[in-house]
Homo-oligomer: A and B are copies of this chain.
Amino acid sequence: MNAPRSRPNLTQIAALLDVSAATVSNALSGKGRVSAELAERIRTKAAELGYMPSHAGRALRTGRSQVLGLVLPDIANPLFPQIAQAIEHAAAAAGYGVLIADSRGDAAMQTQAITHLQDRGVDGIVIVPRRGTRIISTGSPVAVIDSPSTPGNTVSADHWQGGELVGSHLAALGHRDVVIIGSNPASNVQNDRVGGIRSALGPDRRVEVLWIEPHEALHGPGASLGLAARVAEGFTAFAALSDLQALRALTELQQAGLRVPQDASLTGFDDLVWSSAITPGITSVRMDMPAIAGEAIQALLRLIESRDRGNGPRDPGIARASRPSVPMSLVVRQTCGPSPSRTAEQQQTPAGDSQ
C-alpha cells in the first residue's frame, strides 16, 4: 500500500529525512539558511508526498490567517459576479482566500458583516459600499471600492471619465438632445457619471436628468418612464447610468413602437452579460475590474504588512492605492445619429421586419 495516506505534516517529513522540523520549514519557505542540496531533497520529498502546509498551524503561529473578507452591501447587485471573480483572482494570486459576507442590502447589517468577518480572523476586508455609506474605522485594514470623489476611497473606476466617453460618443454621432437616466441622486458613482457626460456634451446641447426611484426601477413593471414622450419632444438619445436602467428604457421604447437605435440611441454602464445578447446590443461603458481588484488587493496587503511591522498607525484604517482611479472603456454597439441624418444602420432593420 504505497498510496499516500492522508496529508503528511512537517514533522513527518522531517522524520522521514532525518532532519529537524525547523529545517524543513526553512527549506520550504526559503527563509532560513539551508544548504542547496538539502533544501532540494526536502522540496522533492514534500512534493512527492503532496505536502500542503496547515493553514491553521501557520495562522496560529504567525497571527495571520491569509484570508480576506469581501463585503458587498447589496449582494443582489448584478455586478457582483464581475467583482467577486476579480477580487478572488487577485487575492488568490497573492496567496489569500476570500470569505464572503452578506449584508442582504441592509445598511445596518453592513457593520455586522464586517464584525463577523473580523471574528473569523480575516487579515483585511474589501468593501464595496452602497450609496453614500461612509466606512467608519473598523480596527481592521480595509480597502474601499467606491468612486474617486468619495472621501476614503481606495481605488475605483474613473466614473467621470466613463461619463465623458458616453458624452463624446453621443456628441460625435451628432446627438444634440440627451436624456440621462439615473436611479440614485445621492450616489457619488452616479453623480460622477452625470458630470462626465455633461462635460463631454458641452454647454450647447440640451441635457436632462431623469431620476427613477430605485424601488420603482425594480418593482415596476408597467410604471412608464414616459420615454416615448421625450422622443416626441425631440430627444434622440438616452444615456442610462447602468445597464439595468438601459434595459428598462429599451423595452419601454420598443414596446411603444419606437425603434432603437433608429428613433433613439441608448447607452448604459457596466456591460452586463446580457448587454450583447439583446437586440439591439447596448453601447456600454465597462469598468476594468481586474485592474481595480488588483490595486485594491495590493493596497490592502501593503496596509496589512505595515501594521504587522508595527510602524503603521494603531487603527490601520483605510488603504490608499497608488493609482486610485482606473480608466473605463467604451463598448460600442450602436452607431446611429439622430434623424434625419441617419446612418446606414436604420436600413438594416426596418420596423416590422423579422430579418
Contacts and interface: CB of A to CB of B under 8 A. Distances in A.
A76 B276 CA distance: 14
A88 B220 CA distance: 28
A257 B85 contact: no
Interface stretch (A20-28, A31-39, A100-108, A141-149): A100-108
A29 interface: no
Contacts of A59: 55-56, 59-60
A84 B221 CA distance: 26
Contacts of A247: 247, 274, 277-278
A88 B101 contact: yes
Instruction: Choose among A231, A279, A353, A355 the residue with the greatest number of B CB atoms under 10 Å from its CB.
Output: A279
Interface in A211-258: 217-222, 224, 226-229, 231-232, 244, 247-248, 250-252, 254-258
B278 A221 contact: yes
Nearest to A348: B222
A220 B276 contact: yes
Interface string A73-115: 0011110111011001100100001111110100000000000
A302 interface: no
Interface stretch (A116-124, A167-175, A201-209): A116-124
A280 interface: yes
Contacts of A156: none
Interface residues of A, number: 74
A256 B76 contact: no
Contact of A56 (B65, B116, B278, B351): B65
A308 B100 CA distance: 26
A207 to B, nearest CB: 21
What DSSP secondary structure best describes chain A's contact surface? mixed
B75 A81 contact: yes
A81 B82 contact: no
Nearest to A98: B100
Contacts of A250: 251
Given A55-B121, A76-B81, A80-B81, A257 B353 contact: yes
Contacts of A231: 354
Given A81-B81, A278-B248, A232 B76 contact: no
Contacts of A88: 75, 100-102
Interface of A: 52, 54-57, 59-60, 65, 67, 70, 75-78, 80-82, 84-85, 88-89, 92, 97-102, 104, 116, 119-121, 217-222, 224, 226-229, 231-232, 244, 247-248, 250-252, 254-260, 273-274, 276-281, 333, 349, 351-355
Given A224-B279, A227-B354, 11 more contacts: A56-B60, A78-B273, A80-B80, A84-B102, A99-B99, A222-B281, A224-B355, A251-B254, A251-B279, A251-B280, A254-B254
In the A-B complex, list the 3 residue pairs whose CB atoms are closest, starting with the nearest.
A228-B354, A254-B254, A257-B352
